[in-house]
Amino acid sequence: MAGIRIEGLSKDFGGPAVVSDVDLSIASGDFVVILGPSGCGKSTLLRMIAGLEEQGAGKIEIDGEPMEGVPPGRRGCAMVFQNYALYPHMSVAGNIGYALKVAGVPRAEREARVREVAAMLELEPLLERRPHQLSGGQRQRVAMGRAMVRRPRVFLFDEPLSNLDARLRLQMRLEIKRLHRALGATSIFVTHDQLEAMTMADRLVVMEGGRIRQVGAPGEVWRRPASRFVAGFVGTPPMIFFPARIDREGRARAAGGWEPCPGARWRLPEGAALELGVRPQDIAADPSSPGPRFAPDLAEDMGAELHIHARAPGGEAVTLIRRAGEAAPSAPFAVRIPAAHVHAFRAEDGARAEPEPVATESETQWRETRSSST
């Protein structure tokens, strides 16, 4: 196992920075997931840690040792790629043990380590097969075995599940987590899939535009996103946003003067522009709300839940979630956001607005009434 420290790391390819001023500390044995959209720099960051991409400005240390100028083979990292990159003419055993053969490990030891890894990955019956005789999930396990047999200090996963179908992705997520627990090695997993990120990470690193926007436990990032980008990117269905301004009494008012979050007061300057965010799981339909009426447009039956997508005449959109068996609205409805579940972000830079809203007595009473009626 090995800890990793990254300080002031930047990288460009002759144009705008692909990775910009990244600071990140990863404790030995952690499973860290780097999440972000395509082009955000997450794979470039991973490749610089591995030594496959020359680092620009900044520092990378693995187990306290500076990595500048250290070749990939001496960093103690093993990387699993999105494409399996298996040698088609070699057997499964040959693919897994090839790195040991190149390193000059004696044949008997090499074969013993290949069998050990194959047993962990349930590949023993497949050791004599060629890659074209394997399923996608089996090929991915072979690629993982090739990394594991080296007994690295650090595992680096670059979107390794992207080529698998939904069932195999679920299976491989569980297998990777079990292997991490069994091996105890430090692991960094790059993905654009938030479900993979939320279910696998000990710590989640969210990137946008080459920069880290938030680091924290998955639940912490979901419950308290640090920016408008993180709030909109993490969560399914995505967070709903209402542009608003603070009036002289500290109320947040949306277009037309209605209050998405009535009863809440904000200790912010009058005229401050915000975006109020709420997760669809927390949106409440409220016939008494003076806000716009949202007409149901589309419904997605997810089995355990029904997601109702609705629009207002002004173009605002919301998603309402109903559990299986609950009645779905068929007529236009109004909404309100409970103060306990609202998120606010400054319009000028997307940063989380502080301090938090202060619920008034009327808001507290409304929540208690709604709770007792459901």
Positive or negative, the CA dihedral 121, 83, 154, 218 is negative
374 pLDDT band (50/70/90 cuts)? Answer: very low
Q: Where are the domains of the chain?
A: 4-228, 237-373
Pick the CATH number of 4-228 from 3.40.50.720, 3.40.50.300, 3.40.190.10, 3.40.80.10: 3.40.50.300
Residue 83 has pLDDT above 90, yes or no: no
Which pLDDT score is estimated for 30? 95
pLDDT score, position 357: 62
Q: How far is CA 61 from the centre of its chain?
A: 24
Q: What is the pLDDT of residue 60?
A: 96
Over 90: is that where the pLDDT of 202 sits?
A: yes
d(CA 364, CA 340): 9
Does the structure show a pLDDT above 50 at 216?
yes
Is the pLDDT reported for residue 114 higher than 60?
A: yes
Rounded average pLDDT over 203-213: 96
| Residues 7-58 pLDDT 10s | 999 999 988 899 999 999 999 999 999 999 999 999 999 999 999 999 889 9
Comparing 25-29, 87-91, 165-169, 193-197, which segment has the lowest mean pLDDT?
A: 165-169
Q: Confirm if 270 and 246 have CB atoms less than 8 A apart.
A: yes
Query: What is the pTM (predicted TM-score) of this model?
Result: 0.86
pLDDT at 370 over 70: no
- Examine the pLDDT at 230 and tell me if it is beyond 60: yes
Q: What is the per-residue burial (b if ≥16 Cβ within 10 Å, else e) of 297-331?
A: eeeeeeeebbbbbbbbeeebebbbbeeeeeeeeee
- Which residue in 18, 5, 15 sits closest to 211, CA to CA? 18
Distance CA 139, CA 86 (A): 8
Candidate from 32-41, 239-248, 314-323 with smallest mean pLDDT: 314-323
Whether residue 72 is preceded by a cis peptide bond, meaning omega within 30 degrees of 0, is no
For residues 256-277, give the mean pLDDT.
87
CA 181 remoteness from chain centre: 20
Confidence grade of residue 355 (pLDDT, cut at 50, 70, 90): low
Rounded CA gap, 60 and 258, in Å?
51
* Cβ density class 142-181: b for 16+ within 10 Å, e for less: bbbbbbbbbebbbbbbbbbbeebeeebbebbbebbbebbe
Q: Quick one: pLDDT band at residue 240, thresholds 50, 70, 90?
A: very high
Amino acid in position 144 = M
Any idea of the CA torsion for 216, 217, 223, 228, to the nearest 10 degrees? 30
Q: 352-373 as b/e, with b when 16 or more CB fall inside 10 Å? A: bbeebbebeeebeebbeeeeee
Of the chain, the percentage scoring pLDDT greater than 90 comes to 51
The whole-number average pLDDT for the span 136-154 is: 87
Q: CA-based diameter of the chain, in Å?
A: 79
